[in-house]
Structure 1
Amino acid sequence: MNANPLILEDVAVSRGAGPVISGVRFALHPGRIVALVGPNGAGKTSLIESISGVTPNSAGRIMLGETRIDRLTRVERARTGISHIEQGRAVFPSLTVRENLSLTARTPQELKETLAHFPELEKRIDSAAGLLSGGEQQMVVLARAFAAQPQFLLIDEMSLGLAPVVFMRLLPIVSKLAEAGTGVLLVEQFTELALGIADEALVVASGTVNYQGTVEALRSDPDLLHRAYLGGDRAV
């Protein structure tokens, strides 16, 4: 797997009259998890969509190592190893779990290796994905990403529509992806749970990054997290 980081240099994303988020600078390295958290409407989804190519960035550059990728199409970026799990579960409901996973697990051996990490899915392998619970469907989405072995995985609100206890069962899977060498950018509403598995954190509010640094520093100082959410003192 390529060791080049994914780098954002003063990235801004605009919708309508003005920027939704601007001045974003950070690097996501393979094997690391960055939690991107903040209040609703802070620009988290817009930022993650600009990385995958769903939405163009209006300023700045997005680099993969020394190569600029923000001028590439979404399909071209996917070919560089960037995978994007968008809000909501994106299974093919009429296909079985096996058929869904076979979209990225190209050989029987790859399918077997993927299922070894998702034993719950193995029990439902011949069930239509649309008949699975919300948590199981999200597991199918993660399993597809696992089989594809992306260099970078962008996850937007994986917990959407799920009970916290179900979401907590999925978090170790995200950690496994990172352990396998994938860099993960995790956009999440359950801040404490996301920070619990992340190496680094970005807190955005009112369209700007108000904190960027280690998870340890953020979790050890509740006031710092509170100020970052409110858009107060910046600690970048």
Structure 2
Amino acid sequence: MNALRIAGLTVTRGAGPVIRDVDLTLEPGRITALVGPNGAGKTSLLEAVSGVVPAASGTVHIGSEEITKQSRVARARRGLAHIEQGRAVFGGLTVLENLMLTARTRARADELIEAFPELEKRRDSPAALLSGGEQQMVVLARAFAARPSFLLIDEMSLGLAPVVFTRLLPMVTRFAEEGAAILLVEQFTHLALGVASDALVVSSGRVTYAGSAQGLLDSPGTLHAAYLGES
């Protein structure tokens, strides 16, 4: 299967770059945790990879094909999905109808609903009436329903209690086990590193650590230094 390769990626907003010279490879079946302090440039990196904002320099490839200049829609057609911050459910549609927007079959939608016990009970409820955690489950399930090859997840836990977020993580792991490459941006650093194979720490727009997620968990001093921007 193809990998997604990012080389020398720089993103500029306003007066100057917010992310500089990032190199990263997302391999099928692996989760990469992208962590760092607030304002480090994590969201800007994901937006440049998915085509929400243009890259100032650098390249993005899927396999041998460069997609750096492609539109967001074209990248999505190549199997690149991006779950942005916040919960983007269609409130007037039921849970099932939300999933049918991306699922190719009713059977696929039913399979995803059954994977989330909370959604099984609410499949015919308007999404606007769900709790924050349930809405985030709908967003995840809708993304999984499309079977993307590459999935960028930005702050899945935003507004959720840690216990709710913990219930969502096994679904991310399961999707990776099915062959997807996942880049996970998350404020609950230790929980994200706990399910990830690889880790990238960014601070002040630069990569300060790239390597094993477990290695970072096993070395609190390294994690602390990386957050402070010390390579």
TM-score (norm 1): 0.96
| CA distance, structure 1, for counterparts of residue 162 and residue 117 of structure 2 | 21
In structure 2, the partner of 1:84 is 82
| CA distance, structure 1, for counterparts of residue 59 and residue 83 of structure 2 | 22
Comparing 222-231 with 103-112, greater Cα deviation is found at: 103-112
The DSSP-based 3-state class of the residue aligned with 1:112 is helix
| CA distance, structure 1, for counterparts of residue 120 and residue 163 of structure 2 | 21
Is the 8 Å Cα contact of residues 93 and 127 (structure 2) preserved in structure 1? yes
Offset, 1:26 = 1.1
| CA distance, structure 2, for counterparts of residue 208 and residue 67 of structure 1 | 26
| CA distance, structure 1, for counterparts of residue 139 and residue 36 of structure 2 | 24
| CA distance, structure 2, for counterparts of residue 113 and residue 160 of structure 1 | 25
CA displacement, residues 18-62 of structure 1 (integer Å, 9 cap, x when unaligned): 110111001001111000000000000000000000011101100
Offset, 1:11 = 0.4
Would you identify which runs of 4 or more consecutive aligned residues in structure 1 move more than 4 Å? none
- The count of corresponding residues between Structure 1 and Structure 2 is 231
In structure 2, the partner of 1:152 is 150
Residue 25 (structure 2) pairs with residue 38 (structure 1):
no
CA displacement, residues 78-103 of structure 1 (integer Å, 9 cap, x when unaligned): 00000000000010001100110110
The DSSP-based 3-state class of the residue aligned with 2:148 is coil
Residue identity opposite 1:186 in structure 2: L
TM-score (norm 2): 0.98
In structure 2, the partner of 1:167 is 165
| CA distance, structure 1, for counterparts of residue 145 and residue 214 of structure 2 | 31
Match of 1:69 among 50, 62, 67: 67
**Matched-pair identity in %:** 63
In structure 2, the partner of 1:95 is 93
Offset, 1:116 = 2.9
CA displacement, residues 119-144 of structure 1 (integer Å, 9 cap, x when unaligned): 32111000000000000000000111
In structure 2, the partner of 1:59 is 57
Alignment of 1:217-228 (within 5 A): 217-228=215-226
* Unaligned 5+ runs, structure 2: none
In structure 1, the partner of 2:18 is 20
Is the 8 Å Cα contact of residues 113 and 123 (structure 2) preserved in structure 1? no
* Unaligned 5+ runs, structure 1: none
In structure 2, the partner of 1:128 is 126
CA displacement, residues 129-169 of structure 1 (integer Å, 9 cap, x when unaligned): 00000000000001111111000000000111111111111
The DSSP-based 3-state class of the residue aligned with 1:162 is coil
Residue identity opposite 2:209 in structure 1: Y
Comparing 98-107 with 85-94, greater Cα deviation is found at: 98-107
Residue identity opposite 2:226 in structure 1: A
Is the 8 Å Cα contact of residues 80 and 150 (structure 2) preserved in structure 1? yes
| CA distance, structure 1, for counterparts of residue 86 and residue 43 of structure 2 | 12
| CA distance, structure 2, for counterparts of residue 169 and residue 113 of structure 1 | 17
